Amino acid sequence: MSFAVINALVLRYIYLYRRNCVRLVELFFWPIVDLLVWGNLSVWLETSRGAGVPSFIPMLIGGVILWDVVFRAQQGVAISFLEDVWTRNLLNIFVAPVRPVEYVLAGFVVGFLRILVTVVVLSVLSAIIYHFNLLQFQWHLVPFFGSLMLFGWSLGMISSALILRWGQAAESLAWAVPFLIQPVAAVYYDIFILPGWAQHLGWCLPCTPVFEGMRAIIRGKGVDWNLMTLSLATNIIWMVIAGGIFLWVLRSGRRRGMLTKVTSH
């Protein structure tokens, strides 16, 4: 594995953002819209709640920011892959001495940078507008963010594999895949309100214990480390499966000429 190759790929993706203002708008626009919509909803619920009802604002805004970690990590991998498809550059990369692991790691780095930018912006805005302090989670942010990033990267590899397998007709999956699992991920509500079968699906996702842990801290109960252990274990499983799927589709694509097909439309 060459860190020089990874650095070169990351720089290439950064240059794309520097030279195209539309990409920068996309990086900020949707996270801010989500924050404002859910933030205003939580303020309205706060003014309508009765005595003894817990505050909605920190739970909903915390869910918005932490979910964006998953989404941006996934987008870092999937959109970086799509950039190479759109520019007809995918074939060139894999003809060059670039290993699949180097290519994927470069996407991981881009995802991390996207997370860094959007989380800082959302944290500042939520503090100013809704008086929500992300640092209230203190050092628990480290396992929270780490777990969510790993899961987002797994989803990114799966998204890229699906696009590589089915071609540009499947481009929408780069945005759709995270939202397919969101209803059972308990992002904005306790998982226990879901039907039994949906709860079982939710606990199979590494992000669900993180959102449950976030709400536990807000309620003053502290973090259940059994949940964090579950998140780590499921993350390992998801990473192995996602990595296996991506490598299998890539190798199959090379044998069957799918790389040429994807970049020729």
Average pLDDT over residues 140-152: 91
Total-model pTM:
0.85
Candidate from 51-55, 175-179, 248-252 with smallest mean pLDDT: 51-55
Which amino acid is residue 125, in one-letter code? L
Tens-digit pLDDT profile for residues 214-264: 888 888 887 788 889 999 999 999 999 999 999 888 888 677 666 666 555
Question: For residues 119 and 111, what is the distance between their CA atoms, to the nearest angstrom?
Answer: 12
Higher-pLDDT residue of 51 and 208 is 208
Tens-digit pLDDT profile for residues 21-36: 666 666 777 788 888 8
- Please tell me the total count of domains within the chain: 1
> Does 88 have pLDDT greater than 70?
yes
CA atoms within 13 A on the CB side of 16: 19
Q: What is the pLDDT of residue 262?
A: 59
Portion of the chain with pLDDT greater than 70, in percent: 87
Question: For residues 112 and 72, what is the distance between their CA atoms, to the nearest angstrom?
Answer: 8
> Does 52 have pLDDT greater than 50?
no
Q: What is the pLDDT of residue 138?
A: 81
Higher-pLDDT residue of 261 and 141 is 141
Q: What is the pLDDT of residue 53?
A: 44
Domain that holds residue 41: 3-263
Cα 59 to chain centroid, rounded: 19
Tens-digit pLDDT profile for residues 2-22: 778 788 888 877 777 766 666
The model's confidence at residue 145, banded by pLDDT at 50, 70 and 90, is: very high
3-state secondary structure the chain: CCHHHHHHHHHHHHHHHHHCHHHHHHHHHHHHHHHHHHHHHHHHHHHHCCCCCCCCHHHHHHHHHHHHHHHHHHHHHHHHHHHHHHCCCHHHHHHCCCCHHHHHHHHHHHHHHHHHHHHHHHHHHHHHHHCCCHHHHHHHHHHHHHHHHHHHHHHHHHHHHHHHHHCHHHCCHHHHHHHHHHHHCCCCCCHHHCCHHHHHHHHCCCHHHHHHHHHHHHCCCCCCHHHHHHHHHHHHHHHHHHHHHHHHHHHHHHHHCHHHHHHCC
Average pLDDT over residues 99-126: 86
